[in-house]
Structure 1
C-alpha cells in the first residue's frame, strides 16, 4: 500500500517580521522627561533656601504669599504660613528663603517688621503704604546657624557692617526711655538706645546702647552715664540757669555720658561692659571723690531750705557739698527736743581747691583743714537763693579768733570731726530785728502818746483863743486907726512952725510911728495868712518825742 492517499506535507517558509522604529523612539520621551525633571529638581533644591520660623506678637500687616523677606532691599524669601503659637504668646510665621540667604541665618541674625513709623528719629517706612509691610533682617556674624528667630518691634540700631561699641546700663531711675532714644556726648548724638527693659526683681531699668564708630573712642572705664530729659532749670545763688537738651532729647529723653570732674575717662572698654546709669547730671556732680573729707556741723536754727547737694563755700569758692541733712548717730534723734540742735554732714572735695595747682594727698588736705579749724574756722547757714529760700553752708574764720557764740558740742561725732557753727545770714538779721522790736515794745509809748495828746489839746485851745482875738473887729481895725492917727498928726504938724521945738518933737514921733508900722506890716500880713503863726513857728521842725533809755 502506498502512501499516495496521504501525500507528505510541504515545509512552510518562516515569516520575517519588520521592526517599528517609531515604537522605539516613544520610549525615549519618558526617559528624557525623567532626566529633565531630575535636573529641574536639582536646580530647585539648589535655588531653594532654608525654611525659617519667625516669632511675633501679632500678624498685623503680614499676609501669606504676599509678605516678602528682604535684606538690603533685595527679596530673599516669602511668608508661606501663619499660625498661632502653642504657648498662646503670639504667632509663628513660616517663611521660605532663597538659596542666597542660606548662609545668612546665624544665631545673632535680627529680624524686624518694616512699616510706616513716626518717632524721634523722623518718619520712616513710607514706601510700605503702597507695597505693604515686609520683614527685614540683618545678617549675623556668629558661627552657629539658627532657623527660629524673634522679630523685633523696632529696627536694630547697628546696621549691616557697622562697627561700634555696645554697652549695658543699669540704673534705679524714675523714668524709662524708649528704644531709639539718642545717646549724647556734649550735646552731640553719638549713638542710640537698642533696648530698654524694666527689671521687677531688683526694680531697675536695664538698657542696651550702641555707640557708632569712631565715637566709641569717647568711652572709657571711668566714663559716667546719666539721663538727660527735657529742659533743666536750676536756681542758684548766681541766678537762674536754663539748660536745654537737643530736640530729640526734648521729645523722648536721652542718655548722656562724659568724663568725671577733674578726671580722665580711663582705658578703653570692651563690648557688653556694664555701667551705672544716674538720674541726672546733678547726681553726677555730687558724687564723692576718692579724697573727700567729711565733717559734722550742729545748727541750733532751722535748717529749712538746706538739702543734700547744697554748696559748701569758703569765701565764695565752692569747695564741697552737703552730704546728709540731717545726719543723726544711732538713737541720737531721740534727743532732738532735749538737745535742740540738728547735725548736718558736709563733704569737702580737695580737687575743687586745687586750682591751677598740683594734686595733693588726702592727708595733706586733712591736716590743712585741721589747722584752719584750730584757727577758728566755723560754719554758718547762709541764703543761697532768696526767691526759693534755698540755703547753703559758708565757711569763714571767726573775727579776732573769737569763739564766743559758737556751737561745738563734740570733738567727734559718728566717726567724723566736728566743725564749730555760729548763727549768721538772714537768721542773725532776724534775731537782731527781734531784739530791736523787743526793746521798742518796752518803751512807754502809751504814756508818751497820752502826754502828746494832752499837749495837742492845750495847743488847740490856745489856737482857738488866738483866732478869736484876731477875728475881733477891734483887732482888725487897729491898722486903720493907726493910719487915721498919723493923718491927724500930719495935719496938726502942718500948723506948727518948722523952727519950733514942738515941730521937731512931733516929726521925730511920726518917724518912730512910721518905722513901727513898717516893722509891724510883715507880722500883720503873716497873721492874715496864718492866724496861728503867733503860736507855731513854721521855720522850726516838729519836735520828735524820745523814749526813756
Structure 2
C-alpha cells in the first residue's frame, strides 16, 4: 500500500513536444535576398572605374544623363557634377564601362561636345537634338617616349576640342614666325596647292619675340617634309607687278578668308623625312621663302644728305639686280660742323645671297673669318667707285630702295672698317635732276630778257611800218598785175576754144603726121623685105593675070 501511496504522490514527467518545422514561406525572402546580393555583387564586379574631370563650366552637363563617348560609342556616364573647393570651376565624376577602362590613362584628353562655329567650320550640330556629351581622345598604346602610359583617374578637361585626334596618322611640326598674321586654328596647310594638313595651335615664344605655330601634316604627305622644306604664310592674295605685268597668286579661296600655310621641298636636299615636332621658319611670303639663304649678316651704315621720304624699314638693298640686304633703321642726326641735319640709314647685308660660288670666291678676299671680315673687299669696292644711292622702286607709291652701284667718276673717299662701317653715298637721280634744273635756271637767269624785249619791240614796230607801206604802195600795183594776168589768161582761153583756128589747124596737122607715120611704116616693111631696093630701085609691080 505504501508503494502505491508513494507512487500516487509523484508528479508524472511532462510529455515531449514534437520539434517545430521551418515554414517554406521563409524560403522566398531568403532566395530574393540572395539574388539581390548576387546582383549587387555582379554589378559591383562589372562596374567600371570612376574618374574625375575638372572643367571651367558645367554647361550642358547633367548627372545621370550626360554620356561619355569615344568615336560616337557610349563608354560611360556622368555620375556627379559639383563645384570645386575654390569655386573657380566644376568637378565632374564619370564612370566608365569596364571594357573601356583602359581608356583612363596618362595622355587621355576630355572635352565637352557642344555646337561650335569657327572659321574652319561648324561642329557639334548633332548635340542640338541629343544634348551635349563628353568626348575623349586616348593616347596610343605607347607615348612619345616609347613607354606604355600608366593609369590615371584625374584629368583637366579641354575647353576647346582638339583639332587632330591623337591616333591620326601624320606628324606635328612647329613653325617659328615673327607674327601670326591671319592664321588661326584650322587654317589649311598646302603642298602644291593641295590641302595636306592644318594649323592645330599657336602661342607666343618664350622670349615674347615671335610666335610658334603648330601644324599637323597627314600621312603619307608628311614624307615630303625634310631638312630642305620651306614654309611660308599663304594667307590672302599676293599681288606683284614686274616685267611680266600684274600678277595675282593665291593658294585657294579658303586661304583668302581663313588664312593658310604652304610649303615646298627642294630636290637638292635629302629625301629623309623630318622627325616629328621638328622646327622650321615660317617666311612671310613665297618670294622670301624661295630667296637664297641669308647666312652671316654684315651690318653697315649709310649717310644721306637729302630727303629719304619713301624709304621704309625693310626696304631692299639691291646690287646688280640681286637683293642682298634690307634696311633695319632710319634715324636723324645733326652735323655740328655744317649745322645741318642728315639721315643715317642702318642696314644689314647678306653676302651669301650672291650665290654659293660667288660667295666662296669673295670670302677669301674678304678675310678668313666670316664673322669678323677684314674690310679688304669693301675697301676695294669703295675705291673702284661703289656707292649707295636711293632709287625709286615704284612710281605709283613713290617707295624707295637702296642700290649699290659702281660710279667710276665718283669722288674718292676714305673707307674705315668698323663693327658697322659707313658706306659712301651719292645723290639719287631726282637730286641730280634737281641740280640740273637749278643749273639751267641759273643760266636762264643770266639771259638779258629786258634787252631782248626792247629789241623785239623795236623789230615789231619796224615790221608794222613795213606792212603799212606794202598796203599803201604795193597793193595797187599788185591789183593791176592781177588784172593783166586775167586778160592774158582770157586770150589764151580764146585760142584754145574748140571753134578757134588753132585747134582745127592742130587737128589737121595731127592727121597729116599720122599718114606720114603710116607711109614710113610701110616703107620700112618693104625695105625689110627687099633690102636690094636701095641699090636697084623698086621692082615693077607684077602683072595682073586675067
Measured in 1, the distance between the counterparts of 2:478 and 2:241 equals 78
Structure 2: gaps of 5 or more residues: 144-148, 367-375, 490-546
- 1:286–1:309: 8 Å Cα contact kept in structure 2? no
Offset at 1:423? 3.8
The match for 1:54 is 53
The match for 1:508 is none
2:363 is equivalent to residue 363 of structure 1: yes
- 1:237–1:385: 8 Å Cα contact kept in structure 2? no
2:291 is equivalent to residue 289 of structure 1: no
- 2:230–2:281: 8 Å Cα contact kept in structure 1? yes
**Equivalent of 2:324 in 312, 320, 323:** 320
- 1:307–1:322: 8 Å Cα contact kept in structure 2? no
Moved more, 58-67 or 335-344: 335-344
The match for 1:123 is 122
The match for 1:17 is 18
Moved more, 225-234 or 361-370: 361-370
Measured in 2, the distance between the counterparts of 1:16 and 1:309 equals 117
**Equivalent of 2:434 in 408, 430, 434:** 430
2:151 is equivalent to residue 145 of structure 1: yes
Q: 1:396-442: per-residue Cα shift (whole Å, max 9, x none)? A: 444xxx43x4363x312533565554445343333323322332233
- 1:300–1:341: 8 Å Cα contact kept in structure 2? yes
2:223 is equivalent to residue 217 of structure 1: yes
Measured in 1, the distance between the counterparts of 2:345 and 2:125 equals 63
Measured in 2, the distance between the counterparts of 1:285 and 1:334 equals 45
**Equivalent of 2:351 in 349, 352, 371:** 349
Measured in 1, the distance between the counterparts of 2:403 and 2:268 equals 26
- 2:231–2:262: 8 Å Cα contact kept in structure 1? yes
* CA 1:167–1:353: 2 relative to 1, 3 Å: closer
2:418 is equivalent to residue 411 of structure 1: no
Measured in 2, the distance between the counterparts of 1:450 and 1:182 equals 80
- 2:54–2:89: 8 Å Cα contact kept in structure 1? yes
Secondary structure (helix, strand or coil) at the match of 2:107 reads coil
Measured in 2, the distance between the counterparts of 1:82 and 1:417 equals 69
Measured in 2, the distance between the counterparts of 1:170 and 1:372 equals 37
Measured in 2, the distance between the counterparts of 1:69 and 1:254 equals 34
- 1:286–1:321: 8 Å Cα contact kept in structure 2? no
- 1:105–1:140: 8 Å Cα contact kept in structure 2? no
2:107 is equivalent to residue 108 of structure 1: yes
- 2:351–2:359: 8 Å Cα contact kept in structure 1? no
Secondary structure (helix, strand or coil) at the match of 1:136 reads strand
Measured in 2, the distance between the counterparts of 1:479 and 1:13 equals 197
The match for 1:541 is none
Offset at 1:69? 1.0
2:87 is equivalent to residue 73 of structure 1: no
Q: 1:444-487: per-residue Cα shift (whole Å, max 9, x none)? A: 2343234324433443455456556789xxx499749x98xxxx
Offset at 1:99? 1.5
Measured in 2, the distance between the counterparts of 1:263 and 1:244 equals 26
- 1:174–1:279: 8 Å Cα contact kept in structure 2? no
Measured in 2, the distance between the counterparts of 1:266 and 1:296 equals 42
Offset at 1:204? 4.9
2:451 is equivalent to residue 459 of structure 1: no
The match for 1:253 is 259
Measured in 2, the distance between the counterparts of 1:229 and 1:44 equals 57
* CA 1:413–1:370: 2 relative to 1, 3 Å: closer
Offset at 1:344? 5.2
Measured in 2, the distance between the counterparts of 1:217 and 1:88 equals 48
- 2:295–2:352: 8 Å Cα contact kept in structure 1? no
Q: 1:137-181: per-residue Cα shift (whole Å, max 9, x none)? A: 111245232223233233213325223323445554264743323
The match for 1:305 is 310
The match for 1:386 is 395
Measured in 2, the distance between the counterparts of 1:341 and 1:122 equals 51
Secondary structure (helix, strand or coil) at the match of 2:49 reads strand
The match for 2:499 is none
Q: 1:65-108: per-residue Cα shift (whole Å, max 9, x none)? A: 33211001111122233223333333333322221321101221
**Equivalent of 2:198 in 192, 196, 203:** 192
The match for 2:83 is 84
Offset at 1:40? 1.6
The two structures have a TM-score, normalised by structure 1, of: 0.70
- 1:55–1:149: 8 Å Cα contact kept in structure 2? yes
* CA 1:187–1:449: 2 relative to 1, 3 Å: farther
Measured in 2, the distance between the counterparts of 1:333 and 1:460 equals 62
How large is the RMSD of aligned CA atoms in angstroms? 4.4
Measured in 2, the distance between the counterparts of 1:256 and 1:27 equals 80
Measured in 2, the distance between the counterparts of 1:336 and 1:324 equals 27
Offset at 1:310? 3.6
Offset at 1:191? 2.6
* CA 1:87–1:211: 2 relative to 1, 3 Å: farther
Measured in 2, the distance between the counterparts of 1:337 and 1:286 equals 43
The match for 1:443 is 447
The match for 1:490 is none
Offset at 1:121? 3.1
Q: How many residues align?
A: 473
Q: 1:494-530: per-residue Cα shift (whole Å, max 9, x none)? A: xxxxxxxxxxxxxxxxxxxx679759xxxxxxxxxxx
Measured in 2, the distance between the counterparts of 1:266 and 1:46 equals 54
Secondary structure (helix, strand or coil) at the match of 1:209 reads strand
Measured in 1, the distance between the counterparts of 2:2 and 2:480 equals 226
Moved more, 246-255 or 165-174: 165-174
Measured in 1, the distance between the counterparts of 2:271 and 2:298 equals 24
Offset at 1:229? 3.0
Offset at 1:212? 2.6
* CA 1:153–1:283: 2 relative to 1, 3 Å: farther
- 2:295–2:350: 8 Å Cα contact kept in structure 1? no
